[in-house]
């Protein structure tokens, strides 16, 4: 039975697709069977997959951009170990469906007040779902596109802690490697030479797997 990880934030530009494709790619390279479900009608994850160069080894991507994720995903997961839902901005019904489908919700947040305010309704939706399902899905925040050394970067963890969800120690920072990899239909782990972005994704994946080991799925 697949473990479903939804990467959600109602605000655009939070780094959902970057995290979804790179975490899925990292799991795939470790030998896990992974499916990416693109829930955004704009199809960014599908565009990424179609842009891959010949010979690339990426996890498959399918589109389910209607509020039926909780019904469709059990029908299409097959023998996959992990299903990564790339969330959509603003379309609340699709996001609610993703919460219903998920075993774990990863919430990327950039270090700005606007991004932190935007997650409040999502956290409320997760909490409401947990009441009906004996605590499922579990959830955590991950800081996305952090600018190191800024005052906001130092304070964002404290602001998010008020929501009562764990915050991953690993995070992504603003790096050209993420844009380069996405534009070429690759993950940062596919770029020539070892890079700091790849180390960030490896660390996030490791921490996420550690959390999943404590989640009943």
Question: CATH no. for residue 85?
Answer: 3.40.50.300
Full residue range of the structural domain in which residue 110 is found: 3-212
Query: Per the structure, how many domains does the chain have?
Result: 1
**Residue 143 in domain:** yes
Instruction: Please give the average pLDDT of every successive group of 10 residues along the chain, which has 217 residues.
Output: 93 90 98 97 96 94 96 92 94 94 95 68 93 92 79 67 90 93 95 87 97 68
Contact 81, 35 (CB under 8 A): no
**Residue 109 in domain:** yes
pLDDT of residue 213: 83
Q: Give the residue from 128, 108, 124, 133 showing the smallest Cα distance to 204.
A: 108
Phi/psi for 9 (5° steps) reads -165, 130
**Residue 197 in domain:** yes
Contact 165, 8 (CB under 8 A): no
> For 149-159, what is each residue's pLDDT tens digit?
656 555 677 77
**Residue 29 in domain:** yes
**Residue 53 in domain:** yes
pLDDT of residue 146: 81
pLDDT of residue 47: 97
Contact 7, 86 (CB under 8 A): yes
> For 83-108, what is each residue's pLDDT tens digit?
999 999 888 899 999 999 999 999 99
**Residue 158 in domain:** yes
pLDDT of residue 104: 98
**Residue 217 in domain:** no
**Residue 40 in domain:** yes
């Amino acid at each position: 039975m697949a473990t479903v990880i939804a990467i959600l934030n109602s605000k655009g530009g939070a780094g959902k697709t970057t995290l979804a494709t790179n975490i899925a790619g990292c799991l795939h390279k470790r030998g896990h069977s992974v499916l990416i479900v693109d829930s955004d009608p704009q199809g960014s994850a599908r565009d990424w997959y179609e842009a891959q160069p010949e010979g690339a080894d990426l996890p498959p991507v399918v589109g389910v951009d209607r509020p039926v994720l909780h019904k469709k995903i059990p029908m299409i997961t097959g023998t996959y170990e992990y299903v990564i839902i790339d969330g959509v901005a603003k379309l609340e019904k699709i996001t609610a469906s993703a919460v219903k489908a998920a075993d774990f919700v990863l919430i990327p947040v950039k270090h700005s007040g606007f991004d932190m305010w935007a997650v409040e309704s999502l956290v409320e939706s997760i909490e409401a779902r947990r009441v009906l399902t004996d605590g499922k899905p579990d959830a955590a925040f991950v800081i996305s596109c952090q600018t190191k050394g800024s005052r906001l970067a130092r304070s964002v963890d404290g602001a998010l802690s008020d929501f009562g969800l764990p915050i991953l120690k690993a995070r992504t920072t603003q790096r050209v490697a993420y844009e380069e990899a996405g534009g070429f239909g690759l993950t940062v782990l596919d770029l020539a030479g070892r890079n700091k972005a790849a180390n960030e994704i490896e660390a996030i994946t490791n921490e996420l797997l550690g959390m999943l080991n404590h989640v009943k799925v």
